[in-house]
Amino acid sequence: MNRLSQLKAYLAEAPNDPFLQYAIALEYLKMNQDAAALKVFTTLTKQHPNYVGTYYHLGKLQEKMELYDEALDTYEAGIIIAQKVNDHHTRNELQGAFNMLNDELSDDW
């Protein structure tokens, strides 16, 4: 059984576990299945909005897929959530990613 299948089996037993959903999305990324990863990450932000690690990876995936406005929105949403749950490290990472992308987009104009 491969890792993705194993994670899906665990998720079937604990369907509301955000870590398992997150791990599945990361496996899809490793397999270059960006659309599947995007779907899982997006669902995860809706079902478990306080799972702050999701926002960075979702934003980076959106950047890779050239969904720049969506990535900026994702980073901003993550910043707000990270502040709310007092996760300063994640907030700083998200702010850095937001600033870098925003600067890159500004330079293109």
Which residue segment(s) compose the domain that 24 sits in? 3-107
- 35-70 confidence digits (pLDDT tens): 999 999 999 999 999 999 999 999 999 999 999 999
- 84-107 confidence digits (pLDDT tens): 999 999 999 999 999 999 999 998
- What CA–CA distance (Å, rounded) separates 21 from 5? 12
CB 42 within 8 A of CB 61: no
What's the CATH code of the domain at 47? 1.25.40.10
Helix axes 88-107, 53-64, angle to 10 degrees: 20
pLDDT at 1 over 70: no
- State the total domains in the chain: 1
pTM: 0.92
